[in-house]
Amino acid sequence: MDNPTSAPIIKVMAKLDTDILIVGGGLNGPSLALACAQAGLSSIVVDALPEITRTEPDFDGRAYALALASVRMLDALGVWDGVADHAQPMLEIKASDGRAGEGAAPFFLHFDHAEIEEGPMGHMLEDRYLRRALMTAMAHAPQITHRPGARVVSQGPGSVTLHNGETLHGRLLIGADGRRSGVAERAGIKRTGWGYDQTALVCAVDHERPHNGIAHQFFMPGGPLAILPLPGNRSSIVWSETEPRASELAAADDDTFLAALRPAFGDFLGQITLTGNRHSYPLGLSLAQSFIADRLALVGDAAHGVHPIAGQGLNLGLRDVGALAETLADAKRRGEDIAAPDVLARYQQWRRFDTAGLAVATDTVNRLFSNDNSALRALRDLGMGVVGALPGLRRGFIREAAGLTGDLPRLMQGRPL
């Protein structure tokens, strides 16, 4: 018998500060907090960086190709209205094999949104608008406490200790702390992955001619060059190059950089000029071997960092957010502990297969296309020709790019949580 004196058992439990403790106030962490708020779950979002740093317009030079399903979710979270004016609909995607100065190969893929009923495949949106809109939405949600400038240094099940010694307690701890996730590492979750020996050089250019909402991807020997439409006569460039060439280009002045970019870019948009700063991001694959642990779950890049070749990293993260929020909301409705092992297992089962599949697909496409081997070049040109000639297959790719395939969370179907 546990209590022979039959005196009342006093279990000392830490007072809970919140339902969900989220480490990482990047893009996926705030999205999860907003989604969970809709289910009546409170959260604290902790980020090591001060808010002023993260809201500086030049903090992150990326622009995201947000799939239609992600746009629906941002709309359901009340974020889309604040950024819609800065977003550019993506109407078509053209992908072709290329070599600097040679232009595109005769076979190319062409995906047109007109082949599906749902509308544009997605929207391009610059990080600076999305990040700020997420922070504004958090500030207006009474269920969310944002703790910027607070670095997590240690953790226990459902709790974290900050650099100033303060400890926070929640029912569930979320790692939304990016591809080098300290939350995952401290929980003993191992990662699978490798570097690509490639760096993405990111910038924006103004051009003379309109892009007409068309996104271009040229598969160059050093890596893909993506030209992605932004509002007006502007495009976002993601140029993946192998090292050490990438470092040379990153260190070069703007004129030297543009002189190297122009032959790869071609002249189909007329003269190009740089606008804003250039940024570089080393590329690699990093997959957590488990997305869950004791009272803990991972979302976004903390769970899976993939090659940007398909522009899917954030879209995958937002799917995690939709799936986890839905799993937790359903658990709450049923009166379950939101951090119970079987609840978290449902989330992992939903998301792990999908992300591992996409990680393998992006890895394979990058390896197949980022080289100058003539046999592989012939094979991939043939492959593109075949896909392009089969309307059913082509529509499948378009629906995939729009994020409409697979087991979609309710928020991504435009339904309430």
Ligand X SMILES: Cc1cc2nc3c(=O)[nH]c(=O)nc-3n(C[C@H](O)[C@H](O)[C@H](O)COP(=O)(O)OP(=O)(O)OC[C@H]3O[C@@H](n4cnc5c(N)ncnc54)[C@H](O)[C@@H]3O)c2cc1C
* Site for ligand X contains 29 (CB under 6 A): yes
User: Is residue 281 a contact point for ligand X (CB under 6 A)?
Assistant: yes
**Whole-number minimum distance, CB 112 to ligand X, in Å?**
19
Please, what is the minimum distance in Å from the beta carbon of residue 224 to ligand X?
11
Q: Which is nearer to ligand X, 174 or 329 (CB)?
A: 174
Which of 41, 65, 135, 293 touches ligand X (CB under 6 A)? Answer: 65
Total Cβ atoms within 10 A of residue 122:
27
Closest residue to ligand X, based on beta-carbon distance: 26
Q: How far apart are CA 273 and CA 389, in angstroms?
A: 36
Stretch that binds ligand X, among 42-50, 212-220, 250-258, 331-339 (CB under 6 A): 42-50
- Say whether residue 27 binds ligand X (CB under 6 A): yes
String of contacts with ligand X for each residue 297-326, x by CB under 6 A: ---xx------x--xxxxx-x---------
Decide: helix, strand or coil at residue 329: helix
Return the SS3 of 259.
Answer: helix
Q: Considering only residues 18, 19, 28, 296, which one is a binding residue for ligand X as defined by CB under 6 A?
A: 28
H or E stretch including 169? Answer: strand 167-175
Interacting positions 73-132 with ligand X (CB under 6 A) = none
Q: How many CA atoms lie within 13 A of 238 on its CB side?
A: 27
| Structure tokens belonging to residue 355 | 């992300």
For ligand X, the closer of residues 137 and 152 by Cβ is: 152
Between 313-333 and 68-76, two packed helices, what is the crossing angle to 10 degrees?
40
Of 29 and 229, nearer to ligand X (C-beta) is 29
Nearer to ligand X, 88 or 312 (CB): 312
Site for ligand X in 207-246 (CB under 6 A): 238
The Cα–Cα gap between 401 and 230 comes to 18
End-to-end CA, the chain? 45
Residue 161's beta-bridge partner residues? 154, 167
Looking at the Cβ atoms of 64 and 369, the one nearer to ligand X is: 64
* Of the candidate residues 152, 323, 359, 402, the single one contacting ligand X (CB under 6 A): 152
User: Least distance (Å) from ligand X to the CB of residue 9?
Assistant: 36
Q: Based on the shown chain and the rule CB under 6 A, indicate whether residue 170 belongs to the binding site for ligand X.
A: no
**Rounded to whole angstroms, how far apart are CA atoms 325 and 416?**
11
46 binds ligand X (CB under 6 A): yes
Place of tokens 């610059």: 126
Q: Are 214 and 229 in contact (CB under 8 A)?
A: yes
Non-local (6+) Cβ contacts of 121 within 8 A are 67, 68, 90, 91, 93, 111, 113, 398, 401, 402
Residues interacting with ligand X, by CB under 6 A?
23-29, 46-49, 62, 64-65, 151-152, 176-178, 182, 200, 202, 238, 281, 300-301, 308, 311-315, 317
